[in-house]
Amino acid sequence: MTNYRIGVIGLGQRIAHVLAAMQEVGWALDVTGYVDPAPVGAPILAAAGIGAGRAFADPAALLADGPYDLLMLGAPNHLHLQHLLLALESGIPTFAEKPIVRTEAETEALAGRLAERGAPPLYIGLVMRSLPIVRDTIARLKSGELGELVSIDATEHLPPEHGGYLARNWRRRREWGGSYLLDKVVHDFDIFGVLAGARAARVASFGGRRIFTPDRTDPPRTYEDGSVAYDLRDAGWSGAADAFASDMDVTDHQVAMVEYANQVRLSFHANSHTALTERRWYVAGTEGTLIADLARNKLMVRKALFRGKPERIDYGGVTADAHNGADQEMAKDLLAALEGGAAFPVTPYESMEAGLTVMAIDQAMDQRQVVECGPMWARYDTARSGAEQGVG
Ligand SMILES: NC(=O)c1ccc[n+]([C@@H]2O[C@H](COP(=O)([O-])OP(=O)(O)OC[C@H]3O[C@@H](n4cnc5c(N)ncnc54)[C@H](O)[C@@H]3O)[C@@H](O)[C@H]2O)c1
């Protein structure tokens, strides 16, 4: 096996965790250099016994020090496009974190670049794709076991400390993160697109900030045992000191509805400060129903016309980071893709389409209107085909 020489741009918590998972599943790797003004992930990497290599002032200097077998991109979301364009020019296989890019214009620019000329392999960290429970959910639906998919109800409800982190970290600003849903649940909307087997045709959404706001008078800040609720993790790059008094401009709770082009219908509810955490997909087909409980890593399935007990599968391996072993599974998928040319579970195009779906949802929320997605897909398809924007 190759000893992978890796260059990192954006050595944050995420890339450090992914590198640790790669090492855990047997990668031979050597991080030879990184670009990051203040690498938040350095202690995580050190704890995993992985060196960070040499610090470079900018991506050009890092790339000039090659060759690399893999680039890993993990900076805040507003930097993804510029780092992706550099990585594509370098010709080096690249792992890049989700959301692939942050806006519709950036999506079109990336799609256009991919259409224009050759690109090295690009693997996007939509890590849920690698989870066994997610793979089984997709496989069971696609096998026809549930009949035709009719509707989906889904949630993601975070504990207070996670919401507090989002309210202090760079994700609190649209200019950096995109939006609450784009940063946090683009994973889920990627899988919903796979389950639906169609693109979103129209979307609606409502959301706002009612939890992490300075308007709340003296909200409680400790648990009943006196432990702090909101300041557990370093807020990192451009972090804010106080979850309730920052310059946050993304939502802290949001609901959305999607009608897919094939009439599959979906409702989604996200809240960043809950006492009963949940990440759950309720998938209803004409002949059966499936509940994927992603928080507890359990699947439940039953035929519609069956009165016996539902089939229950417990995948186990629930971890404190709520990833439940997904990072290790993705690390194996990445190695299989690089070593043997196996298909990585998600393509850059699917990643862009998941992002666009969430962007349309946020647009619907901003405009308080149902958004017809057709024009957005037409612009994207034009960019993807390499045709001039605005022509034809
Ligand atoms: N797939 C997942 O499950 C998952 C989970 C968490 C984060 N992410 C994604 O990973 C990315 C990073 O998130 P994170 O949680 O690690 O954030 P983080 O704040 O821990 O790390 C971001 C890092 O980028 C660095 N940075 C800032 N400006 C930079 C620049 N100009 N050049 C290079 N580095 C720069 C920061 O100093 C910081 O070290 C985001 O895109 C996020 O959406 C994915």
What's the pLDDT score for residue 4? Answer: 97
Mean pLDDT to the nearest integer, 163-170: 96
Q: Which of 101, 48, 21 is nearest to 330 (CA)?
A: 21
Is the separation of the CB atoms in 76 and 176 below 8 Å? Answer: yes
Sign of the dihedral through C-alpha 123, 75, 351, 164: positive
What's the pLDDT score for residue 388? Answer: 56
| Residue whose CA is at the smallest distance from ligand 1 atom 37 | 38
∠56-58-59 over CA atoms, to 5°? 100
Q: How far apart are CA 60 and CA 68, in angstroms?
A: 13
- Whether 384 is in the pocket of ligand 1, judged by its Cβ within 6 Å, is no
Q: Which of 335, 334, 325 is nearest to 131 (CA)?
A: 325
Widest pairwise Cα distance in the chain: 65
Q: How far apart are CA 334 and CA 26, in angstroms?
A: 12
Residue to substitute in 11, 129, 158, 237 for testing ligand 1 pocket (most ligand atoms within 8 angstroms of CB)? 237
∠71-334-344 over CA atoms, to 5°? 110
Burial class (CB within 10 angstroms; exposed 0-12, middle 13-18, buried 19+) of 376: buried
The superfamily (CATH) of domain 128-381 is Dihydrodipicolinate Reductase; domain 2 (3.30.360.10)
- The token pair at 245 is 């008094």
Examine the pLDDT at 249 and tell me if it is beyond 80: yes
- Going from N- to C-terminal start, the domains of the chain cover 4-127, 128-381
Tens of pLDDT, residue by residue over 214-227, are 998 889 999 999 99
- Whether 74 is in the pocket of ligand 1, judged by its Cβ within 6 Å, is yes
- Whether 150 is in the pocket of ligand 1, judged by its Cβ within 6 Å, is no
Tens of pLDDT, residue by residue over 106-162, are 999 999 999 998 899 999 999 999 999 999 999 999 999 999 999 999 999 999 999
- Whether 156 is in the pocket of ligand 1, judged by its Cβ within 6 Å, is no
63's CB contacts (< 8 A; 6+ apart) are 7, 86, 90, 92
Examine the pLDDT at 300 and tell me if it is beyond 70: yes
Q: How far apart are CA 332 and CA 144, in angstroms?
A: 28
pLDDT band at 392 (very low <50, low <70, confident <90, very high): very low
pLDDT band at 391 (very low <50, low <70, confident <90, very high): very low
Tens of pLDDT, residue by residue over 6-64, are 999 999 999 999 999 999 999 999 999 999 999 999 999 999 999 999 999 999 999 99
Q: Cis link prior to 99 (omega < 30° from 0)?
A: yes
Is the separation of the CB atoms in 103 and 264 below 8 Å? Answer: no
The residue type at 107: T
The superfamily (CATH) of domain 4-127 is NAD(P)-binding Rossmann-like Domain (3.40.50.720)
pLDDT band at 166 (very low <50, low <70, confident <90, very high): very high
Tens of pLDDT, residue by residue over 326-359, are 999 999 999 999 998 899 999 999 999 999 999 9
- Whether 237 is in the pocket of ligand 1, judged by its Cβ within 6 Å, is yes
- Whether 44 is in the pocket of ligand 1, judged by its Cβ within 6 Å, is no
The per-residue b/e assignment along 236-262, b for 16 or more CB within 10 angstroms, e otherwise, is bbeebeebbebebebbbbbbbbbbbee
Per DSSP bridges, beta strands 265-271 and 149-157 are: parallel
Average pLDDT, the chain: 95
- Whether 100 is in the pocket of ligand 1, judged by its Cβ within 6 Å, is no
Give residue for tokens 């129903």. 289
285's CB contacts (< 8 A; 6+ apart) are 141, 145, 146, 147, 148, 149, 150, 304
Strand, helix or coil for residue 287: coil
Mean pLDDT to the nearest integer, 242-256: 96
E strand or H helix that includes residue 268: strand 265-271
Spacing, Cα 251 to ligand 1 middle (Å):
20
The reply to whether domains 4-127 and 128-381 share a CATH topology is no
Q: What are phi and psi of 330, to 5 degrees?
A: -65, -35
